[in-house]
Structures are given as C-alpha cells and as structure tokens.
Amino acid sequence: MNDDVSQMIYNFSAGPAVLPAPVLRQAQEELPDWHGTGMSVMEMSHRGSDFIRIAETAEARLRELMAIPEDYRVLFLQGGATGQFAAVPMNLSAQDAVADYVITGMWGKRAHAEGAKFLDRANVAASSSPSTYVPPQDEWRLTPGADYVHITLNETIQGVRFATVPDTGAVPLVADVSSIILSEPIDVSDFGVLYAGAQKNIGPSGLVVVIVAEDLLGRARATTPQVWNWFENAKSGSMLNTPPTYAWYIAGLVFDWVADQGGVAAMAEVNRRKAAELYAAIDFEPVFVAEARAAGLVNLEGHRNVGGMRASIYNAMPEGGVDALIDFMKEFETRHG
C-alpha cells in the first residue's frame, strides 16, 4: 500500500502492482460487513441483488471511463490475460483458419505460441523480437482474409508501445492491453477485442477484463470450453459459473478511484509527468536495487528474463513515489558517482 501521508514503502512491482491507498482502506473497512449486510463481499452469493449491484456498477463505471460504445460487451473473467491467449483463437476462428500476429516482445510471443496450438496457420505478420521497436506497418505481411490481427499495445517487459493504433481494415484488431488499460485513453472502436489482466491498473490478479464487439460474438468453435466462450459469458453477464467476485468488487473500487482522479485523460497526464521525470533521471548502478530497497523503494528489479531494472509507475503509484525514487537516484549518484 502506498499513501503519501503515512508512507511506508513505494512498490514499483510490474504486477501484481500497487493499488490506490484509498481503495485498500475502503476494502479494509468494508471487509467484514459490506454496507450493513452483515457479510463480506467474499461471502455473498454472486446471484444476490447486492453483488449484482456491485458487478453492474463496476461495469458501468468502466464503460464511462473508457467511453465503451454500446455495441461492445464487457466481460469479467478468470484465468488472467494468458487465458485469453487461447480464448482469442477459440472465439474468433476455426482450427483451419489464418490469424496474423505482430510480435513486439515476450507477451506477444507467448500469445502467438498459445494461439498456434489452436490454429493451423498462426502467421507472424511482423516481429521485432528480440529488438525493441514496433515494425512499421508497411513492412507487415498481413494475410488477406485473416480472422484477426493480434497485437500487444504495450509490451510490459521490453517496454515497447504502439504510438498509434494500426489500421487493419475489415480484419478485427485484437489487442492485449494489460499494462496500458486506464493509463491513457484508448479508442475502443478501433478494436474488435481488447483484453487486460487486472493486476496492474485494475485490481487483483486472476481477473481479466475482455471488451468485445458484439458482432464478433457467436464465432466461437463448438469445442470452446464454456468458461472461455465470450458469447456464453456475455449472455450470462459473466456469471456462467461463480465469477471472481472479490476481484470484481475491488476492480469497481479502483474504477471509482480513477473517476475521482478525473478519469483516464487525467491519469494519462500524471503518468506522462511521472515517466518524463523518471526517464530524465535514469542512470542506474549495480548496487542500486539493494540500496533502494533499504530506502523503502521496492520491486525495482527487471523481469527475470531480461534483468536490469524497471520501475512500474501504474496509475496507483503516487507522484510522491516517483519523486522519492528520483531523490534516491540523485543521492545515489552523488555517493557513487
């Protein structure tokens, strides 16, 4: 937990990541007795009117925050973003169909590898891996008539981000937005499907939010397991089976908090400031992580596959956290420079 008033540590983890302090405090207050019901949200029936209200309010808030058009469905599912790597082909194409993947880092590579299990032709239309850039669209080898094009809008590990949304014409664009959702405006109508693991800017891990254009529902294979079937889940209000109720509730609190901050555009402004200041100050040394940890700045290690260091500064990281990190970096430089 971070809190500029009672600061203990600043947590720069890439996910599960820092949650807004007011959300954790509200959750703590409401933990044993939600709004006088005498029970925790964790103990409520997902079919009861109280939880239905929590669920519907969360969805409505997300719709407002992202200006999600009415002809898109919002699903609150389980299995994280990785589950969707398999769900995407199972919901959008037949085994003998073609789908295109643009790979700009490790998550795109994993989405492609998983997709390839469910497609005879999972075409790599472009790949920058292991380098770190987005290949220009005029170099992509897209397949005419592909069922979809998959991209990772922000590659969390390599730090590769699409600056503009590619135009794939009539072919639906599917994007993994796990590490960018709610941190800057996304025009949902540019995409057929967006999905995001919750553990960065939304809430507890395990939950995944899927935003899917209604006209893409109903393409699922007959063999698609029910829990991965977007159409079945849309029909049942994401309550085909017992949903991750507590994670959904926390997500709703986070959505309220983002709205209280002024919405996604306001978050983007703060995030731009945080990133600009941090990039301006970056000059790391090997003992940095250990000394930073001792100073209450934790989880600055890079992903285990690439090493180095990284500071994840998702929505809930206060500006004070970035200031504390920059102060530490300057002080570190003076001592070790």
Per CB under 6 A, residues contacting ligand PLP are 15, 80-82, 107, 152, 156, 176, 178-179, 197
Assess contact for 148 and 170: CB atoms under 8 A.
Answer: no
Structural tokens at position 270:
């703060």
Active-site hit among 107, 230, 248, 257: 107
For ligand PLP, give the closer residue by CB, 299 or 332. Answer: 299
CB-neighbour burial class of residue 120 (10 A; exposed 0-12, middle 13-18, buried 19+): exposed
Which among 100, 177, 81 is positioned nearest to 142, based on CA atoms? Answer: 100
Shortest gap between Cβ of 83 and ligand PLP (angstroms)?
7
**Contact criterion met (CB below 8 Å) for 90 and 118:** yes
Measured from the CB atom, the residue of 15 and 115 that comes closer to ligand PLP is 15
**Shortest distance, position 154 Cβ to ligand PLP, whole Å:** 6
The type of residue at 225 is: P
Choosing from 34, 109, 147, 200, which is the catalytic residue? 200
**Is 230 an active-site residue?**
no
Q: Computed from CA positions of residues 233, 237, 240, 244, in that sequence, does the dihedral angle turn out positive or negative?
A: positive
d(CA 8, CA 138) in angstroms, rounded, equals 49
**Nearest to ligand PLP of 87, 329 (CB atom):** 87
C-beta separation of 150 from 143 below 8 A: no
Strand 149-152 vs strand 154-155: parallel, antiparallel, or unpaired?
A: unpaired
Q: How far apart are CA 309 and CA 109, in angstroms?
A: 22
Q: Could you give the C-alpha distances from 111 to 5, 91, 150, 273, in angstroms and in order? A: 41, 14, 8, 31
Name the residue among 44, 98, 93, 66 with its Cα closest to residue 258.
66
The dihedral region occupied by 176, where left means phi > 0, alpha psi between -120 and 50, and beta the remainder, is beta
Smaller CB separation from ligand PLP, 82 or 132: 82
Active site (annotated) includes residue 117: no
Nearer to ligand PLP, 74 or 87 (CB): 87
Catalytic choice (100, 147, 176, 256):
176
Instruction: Tell me how many helices (H) and strands (E) the chain has.
Output: 9, 11
101: which strand partners? 124, 150
- Give the chain's largest Cα–Cα span: 64
Determine the residue type at 275.
Answer: A
Question: Of 77 and 329, which has the nearer Cβ to ligand PLP?
Answer: 77
User: Min. distance of Cβ 160 from ligand PLP in angstroms?
Assistant: 10
Considering the complex, state which of residue 152 and residue 245 has its C-beta at the smaller distance from ligand PLP. 152
| 107 catalytically annotated | yes
Helix (H) or strand (E) holding 121: strand 121-127
Residue nearest ligand PLP (C-beta atom): 80
Residues forming the active site = 107, 176, 200
